[in-house]
Structure 1
Amino acid sequence: MKKHPMTRTSFARKVTTSLFFGLLSLTVAAQQKPNIIIIYADDLGYGDVSCYGMKKIKTPNIDRLAKQGVRFTNAYATSATCTPSRFGLLTGKYPWRQRNTGIAPGDASLIIPADHRTLPGMLKDAGYHTAAIGKWHLGLGTKAGIDWNTHISPGPLEVGFTYSFIMPATLDRVPCVFVENHDVVNLDPKDPITVNYQHKIGNDPTGLENPEKLRMHPDPHQGHNQTIVDSISRIGWMSGGNSARWKDADIAGTLTEKAIHFIADNKQQPFFLYFASGDIHVPRYPHSQFRGKSGMGLRGDAILQLDWTVGQLVKAVDSLGLTNNTMIIFSSDNGPVLNDGYLDQAAALVGNHHPGGPLRGGKYSAFEAGARVPFIVKWPADVKAGGNSAALIGQIDLFASLAHLTGQTLTNAEEAPDSFDMLAQLLGKSHNSRPSLVTHAGTLSLIEGDWKYITPSKGAKIDKAVNIELGNDQAPQLYQLGKDVHEQQNVAAQHPDKVAEMAAKLEAIKSKAGSR
């Protein structure tokens, strides 16, 4: 806003100043509850930002959040893949307690029960305007199927959000369109959308049949070679909707713009923004201002774009005078993966950088790099800057913690059953850990204090397609994370009593409706 010059008298300056601060006081008085923004990165590893050890490139905007708030070193998503982690964050319930919470296809029906209160629903009850902007990947519509050419329901608005602007699934899955509230954006009714995940439909070229039309080639072992959208082949087949299809280079800018508009439109009332970035998930094709800038290929460039996005959101909050009363939480849905369906040279150009930092495994893995993720909380009004916390905490705890923050109560045992009130930890006022935490990557793991128990499983030990150790073993695994964060020494044989104790605790958690 342009400032008008004060040229007449000191009295005029005093009146103007008094009026400004009077209006500011009214705004603060009207809005005591803090704004809450969750910035949720996609496939960002524990070691992929410089405040967690990245050396090859800098992430100054994410680093600034850490310097101005609390950086957690022992924080977890619920799962080592995206859909279940998102489910856990928004419901406060371990995703393995409900069927069909695995990686969702692009035409999946809504997997969050609309008859249970969610994190955004709870905050809406507390007087918040709530928005989901970015990657959804939690299904839309009913089991009867989705008609993309009419109002799409149920979706985010039916599970607690008052506004949504989403990618229905992921960047590598059709349909490659945005859905605002209930409708596909820029859809031409004369060019209706059809989506199929069983067989080819329409005449659109595919990566399998028309590789000459591609800007990056899919990995032949992973099958991301179906309908081509914006010169990139995807998972699934799509026809129609040409005017609605996104341009990959513009996704981050579009989502950021929508988020800034939501923040500005709600500056005089409490708001909750769940901003789920598409970065750094494949297919990685960031805007030209970032391509070629990292020296680490498209994956590194996408990290730079993610950091820019964080900076733009923080700048918007600052410019509106909302800094002091806005809590910003930054994290990732799971651990890192390099070549995940596309030959974009992520593995070839990673050099000596370890995306998981000191942790073993990665996305899809029961080892630590699968679900231990960056987690930063900034809130100038109540969080002391420059803090570090080793408290065991999960994204699943945000439900109960933010309920406490906003004066809400959990109404019954079925609401957020696995979420612990960790508000004091989020604010940096306590370093006590939650009693234990269960993570999921095909098999379940129990983390309690310095101990981690991984249940026996018969799956493959290495996912050869992505070159990641999955953590599967037919024998029980037990690690002392305080001494062996690398998970190199399985001490199950030396501590059979501890194995039995933790196995029994895990079974007890599984048998109960919730963990609290």
Structure 2
Amino acid sequence: MRMSSHCHLFALLCCLGLWPSIVTGADEELPNIVLVFADDQGYQDLGCYGSPHIRTPNIDRLASEGMRFTSYYSAYCVCSASRASLMTGCYQPRMNIPGVLGPRSKVGLHPDEVTIADLLKTKGYATMCVGKWHLGDKPQTLPTAQGFDHYFGLPYSNDMARQKGWGNGPADLDRIWKEKKWDIYNNDLRRDEEIVESPVNQTTLTDRYTEEAVKFVRANRSQPFFLYFPHTMPHVPLFVSDDRYDADAANAYRLTIEHIDWSVGELIKTLDDLGIADNTLVIYTSDNGPWLSKKHHGGSALPLRSGKGTTFEGGMRVPGIMRWPARIPAGTVCDQVVSSVDLLPTIASLVDADLPPHPIDGLDVSALLNDPTSPSPHDEAGYFYYRNNRIEAVRLGKWKLRIPGPPRRNAARRKPQPVELYNLDEDISETTNLAEEHPEVVEQLEQLAAEYDADLKANSRPVWREGDTGT
């Protein structure tokens, strides 16, 4: 098997004593970790977050037996950059990863980045990624070069290899749903680095993902394991298995989320059957908010403002649920700020693993798992949003400041955008701009944003580019 440059780096660090030795054998004290990551799922799109029509009893069960976060954020407002931040604990500008990668992209997540999977391998975990990767489709950037023992899934979004003559608007999506036109997409299904199906039949994708995930859990029940399960959907186009299909496209989104809920139920059942549920941390969240322009093929972020592609709350505040019966009190709700960028340092703390030897942005929020009223480290350090390599907004406690960008072409014809300040404790929908009433808060947050922006630029790392050699 090809050894990536990252593997060579790990071997060298271990030999020099600069990285912890690989643990062999099972360690019953280490928790199993299952991370389920939906694509473009909105804040309101679960029963436990108030959906009026989507039934999600299995995910709701995770919330009732664990902790539901009401201020949980993705680390970016679109796919690839959000996933890179999740995997590395770093905001997008540190890695220079584009917002969205595609099958013709010549860049990807650098193999020298340290992912959650890399970190857990140092503690003897079995690791697998099942689903949408979207951090590069070249051998150097696939999951098998980023700490995962195995991979099964699509390397990019399920709409990115669409045949000519088909659009991606609601009317086209209606027809695609009604006619089950999965064959107009030339997506490659990978097993490790090998293409095993092209085009992939997307009507069976969620079922096959679930089968692979369950198989991995069963095969590794006697050792600590990490299953990263980033679903391809509800990113459009939407597909479900024939046994749950309804030709009415108005039901497509609901049925897709309910299909994912079924998948979560299969994982819960497997953990229960194997007697390992108590010491398994299950995390459920989404990469960003709903794709509102897709109308009924997209979800809802209510009562939040806007959706995917924006740094309003609806673009980045998403469902966040964690269940770990051995540690997390059942039926708890946490209102503190937590982000996907926090998962790597938090998991490192939980398994007593060393953090990467380079700067990261995530914070250890493990104390919240015991007591949801504990202070969030974000209250002191601040929580920052990013998009297109510039800071668009910053949150500190209840305050959120939105910062207008530089003037665009033909800016003279447009009304200048004001600085916006919102009290999220009282105005979750971002309706009332309080900047004029609280200039001292505006000044404080502007300074925080400028200082952090300078740090990101001073300590950024290169993206992987096709043709790169070595580490």
Report the TM-score, using the length of structure 2 for normalisation: 0.81
Amino acid at match of 1:403: A
Residue identity opposite 2:182 in structure 1: D
Q: Which has the larger radius of gyration?
A: 1
Partner of 2:349: 404
Corresponding residue for 2:405?
457
In 1, Cα distance between equivalents of 2:284 and 2:345: 18
Q: Please tell me whether the aligned partners of residues 185 and 199 of structure 2 are also in contact (alpha carbons under 8 angstroms).
A: no
2:224 counterpart of 1:270: yes
C-alpha distance in 2 between matches for 1:459 and 1:318: 56
Partners of 1:128 and 1:457 lie apart in 2 by: 43
Is 1:438 paired with 2:365? no
Q: Is the 8 A contact 2:421 2:435 kept in 1?
A: yes
Task: Judge conservation of contact 1:377–1:427 (CA < 8 Å) in 2.
Answer: no
Corresponding residue number in structure 1 for 2:144: 157
**Could you tell me the percent identity over the aligned residues?**
33
Counterpart code for 1:303: I
Q: Matches of residues 141-180 of structure 1 in structure 2 within 5 Å? A: 141=138, 152-174=139-161
Query: In structure 2, the residue corresponding to 1:512 is in which secondary structure?
Result: helix
**Corresponding residue of 2:332:** 387
Name the CA distance, whole Å, in 1 between partners of 2:261 and 2:54: 11
Tell me how large the CA RMSD over aligned residues is. Answer: 3.1
8 Å CA contact 2:187, 2:199 repeated in 1 = no
Q: Which amino acid aligns with 2:152?
A: F
Rate the CA distance shift 1:295–1:383 in 2: closer, same or farther, 3 A: farther
Q: CA deviation at 1:390?
A: 0.4
Matched position secondary structure for 2:327: coil
Higher helix share: 2
Counterpart of 2:263 in structure 1: which amino acid?
Answer: T
Q: What code does the residue aligned with 1:172 have?
A: D
Q: How does 1:95-106 map to 2 (within 5 A)?
A: 95-106=92-103
Gaps of 5+ in 1: 1-27, 142-151, 177-204, 461-471
In structure 2, distance between residues paired with 1:332 and 1:476: 28
Change in CA separation of 1:448 and 1:233 when aligned onto 2, cut-off 3 Å: same
1:346 paired with 2:301, answer no
Residue in 1 that maps onto 2:464? none
CA separation of 1:137 and 1:295: change in aligned 2, threshold 3 A:
closer
Aligned to 2:65: 68
Counterpart of 1:33 (choices 30, 35, 56) is 30
Structure 1 position 428, deviation (Å): 3.7
Provide, for residues 40-77 of structure 1, a one-character-per-residue CA deviation record: whole Å limited to 9, x for no partner: 01111000101001011211011000000000001100
By relative contact order (CA 8 Å, sep 6+), the higher-ranking structure is 2
Q: Which residue pairs with 1:194 in the alignment?
A: none
Which residue, 374, 378, 390 being the options, matches 2:323? 378
Q: Which amino acid aligns with 2:40?
A: D
Q: Which runs of 5+ in 2 are unaligned?
A: 1-24, 189-194, 409-414, 461-471
2:136 maps to 1:139: yes
* Displacement over 4 Å in runs of 4+: 233-236, 293-296
The match for 2:164 among 206, 227, 230 is 206
Q: Deviations over 1:448-481 (max 9, x none)?
A: 0000011102689xxxxxxxxxxx9722111111
Task: Indicate the residue corresponding to 1:249 in structure 2.
Answer: 203
User: CA contact under 8 A between 1:39 and 1:331: conserved in structure 2?
Assistant: yes
- 1:206 maps to a residue whose letter is K
Counterpart of 2:76, as a letter, is S
Does residue 481 of the first structure (1) align with residue 427 of the second (2)?
no
The size of the alignment, in residue pairs, is 413
Structure 2 residue 434 is the aligned partner of structure 1 residue 447? no
Deviations 1:329-369 (A, max 9, x none): 000000012444xxxx616xx9xxx8112100111111100
The one of 230, 237, 241 equivalent to 2:182 is 230
User: Measured at CA, do residues 411 and 287 of structure 1 come closer, stay the same or move farther in structure 2, by a change above 3 Å?
Assistant: closer
Answering whether residue 322 of structure 2 is matched by residue 367 of structure 1, we say no
**Residue 121 in 1 paired to residue 118 in 2?**
yes
SS of residue matched to 2:172: coil
Q: Secondary structure at the match of 1:438?
A: strand
The one-letter code of the counterpart of 1:418 is D
Residue 258 and residue 512 in structure 1: after superposition, are their counterparts in 2 closer, same or farther (change >3 A)?
same
